[in-house]
Amino acid sequence: MSDDPPNDAAAADKISFRDVKAEIRRRIERRIWGPGELVPGEIELAEEFGCARATVNRAMRELTEEGLLDRKRKAGTRVRITPIRQARFEIPLVRAEIESAGANYRYALLSREVLPAPAWLCARLGLTPGAPALHLVCLHSADGAPYQHEDRWINLAALPQAEAADFSTQGPNEWLVEAVPYSEVEISFLASAAPADVAVVLGMEPGEPTFTAERATWWQGQPITQVRLCFAKGYRMTTRY
Amino acid sequence: MSDDPPNDAAAADKISFRDVKAEIRRRIERRIWGPGELVPGEIELAEEFGCARATVNRAMRELTEEGLLDRKRKAGTRVRITPIRQARFEIPLVRAEIESAGANYRYALLSREVLPAPAWLCARLGLTPGAPALHLVCLHSADGAPYQHEDRWINLAALPQAEAADFSTQGPNEWLVEAVPYSEVEISFLASAAPADVAVVLGMEPGEPTFTAERATWWQGQPITQVRLCFAKGYRMTTRY
DNA sequence: GAGTGGTCTAGACCACCCT
DNA sequence: GGGTGGTCTAGACCACTCA
């Protein structure tokens, strides 16, 4: 009862945009504001909550980003009829993914060759036919168990220094992150049948389903690399929202 | 030459947080500010750009969210050593996904039964054993071709009105979005071998790889539904970032 | 045309946390 | 301890778009 400490929820010091956000979210979830319904304007809400309009604005802006609201000038703000469900996945380096699971990471280079880029790769990345490419095949393991098979092509025209790089101890992924960070990426996830060579390495039967990621990367419009990652049996990509 | 229209890029009216964001991003991409490096403080940048600190703040806050920067009070702002690569996927209703591809959507209910929830389901959702559940199997087609097989369980203890709902023309997904919007979701993606019944429906061989999503849903802490979605051959989930 | 959201500003206070 | 980011405020102007 002494003086009130600034820690508990009851202390109504100043309204944060988080408070506003939470309250608005509550009203949507409890259907106080039903789907498709027009919600009060920023000024009105600012008065109700006793805060500045900017505070309400930030709250509603973030809720819009999260797919709960739909805002239009003049028309006002509405609760989305169908909330946009979106999930965010982090795309970690394999090493980080394995180590953060508390397992021991190991990397092995299975093959390396310099070839003219095959036709499908040129089509995929927009390469000039016959451009020199570095083809790498690698295995990433967790606690000694195969975890991910990596089949990578690097455009040597754009990244000639890759030819001199030593990929026997460092994975191409980590090398590339250092050499060409902040690039533009297209990524796909699919289920594929493990080709024989991949299956052998991952300890599966050929044709068994393998969770697969395909990633193509550009840097300032220039094609850099394309990779197919096949995960060992039982892999799942999970998230909450 | 009359008066200057406010349309072209050269018109330097007022600095937007977008401008600041783009410029900072440019400096990071071009390694003017290298990985791990400390970048100037908000006040300094605000002076450089000739704008308010709040403007710089918003720019840097968003770049932090996008995984390019790392901010700590007192320590200042640094370029992330390894940028966090993250991808955002929208989780659309199948119907929307199919129709937005310009195809004709069709829905069919394959089976429906009320059962006590099986043990695995209770474990997954945290249900009391023996709770009544509605089990639905459906098929979603695009232009007459099978697209997605849906195997769903609904917790009737939480959603008794589901038992009376007519799922012969409307998919459970759409019904649930109306009945229980804004719920909490855990979703996984994996590659699985198509079970015989699924394979038949999707026109695949049993055991063939199928891209699979598993989704569990709660509402205010209460388990609502669990679904396994198997996609037809060739499905990919793609995004750019 | 007018109302709503979108953004910028200038100033202020605070919390956190490195040196 | 002090510097940095985090946030709120009050006011202002603008752009879009609906009626």
φ, ψ of residue A199 in degrees (nearest 5): -60, -45
Mean pLDDT of A152-177: 93
Q: Of chain A residues 110-169, which have a CB less than 8 A from chain B?
A: none
B91 DSSP assignment? -
CB B204 within 8 A of CB B231: no
Give the least confident one: A70-74, A95-99, A153-157. A95-99
pLDDT block averages, 10 residues each, chain B of length 241: 39 82 94 93 95 96 95 95 84 88 94 94 90 96 96 95 94 89 86 96 95 93 94 93 82
Per-residue pLDDT, B84:
84
CB B88 within 8 A of CB B239: yes
Per-residue pLDDT, B7:
38
Per-residue pLDDT, B12:
53
Tokens 């209910």 correspond to B109
A84: pLDDT confidence band, cut at 50, 70 and 90? confident
Per-residue pLDDT, B60:
97
B36 DSSP assignment? T
Give residue limits of the domains in chain B: 17-79, 94-231
Per-residue pLDDT, B19:
96
Tokens 């953060």 correspond to A100
- Residue (of B133, B140, B107) closest to B119 by Cα position: B133
- The alpha-carbon gap from B185 to the nearest alpha carbon of chain A, in Å, equals 5
- The alpha-carbon gap from A215 to the nearest alpha carbon of chain B, in Å, equals 10
Mean pLDDT of A136-152: 96
Structure tokens at A134: 């570095």
CATH ID of B94-231, from 3.40.47.10, 3.40.50.10800, 3.40.50.2300, 3.40.1410.10: 3.40.1410.10
H or E stretch including B150?
strand B145-155
Give the least confident one: A30-39, A184-193, B44-53, B177-186. B177-186
CATH fold for domain A17-79: Arc Repressor Mutant, subunit A (1.10.10)
Per-residue pLDDT, A220:
81
CA-based radius of gyration for chain B: 25
Q: Report how far apart, in Å, the C-alpha atoms of A129 and of each of A83, A119, A200, A227, B8 are.
A: 45, 7, 31, 18, 39
Per-residue pLDDT, B37:
94
Decide if B89 and A84 are in contact by the 8 Å CB cutoff.
Answer: no
d(C-alpha A188, C-alpha A87), whole Å: 15
Q: Of chain B residues 175-234, which have a CB less than 8 A from chain A?
A: 177, 181-182, 184-193, 207-212, 220, 231
Per-residue pLDDT, A8:
39
- Residue to substitute from B24, B186, B236, B240, interface A, most A β-carbons within 10 A: B236
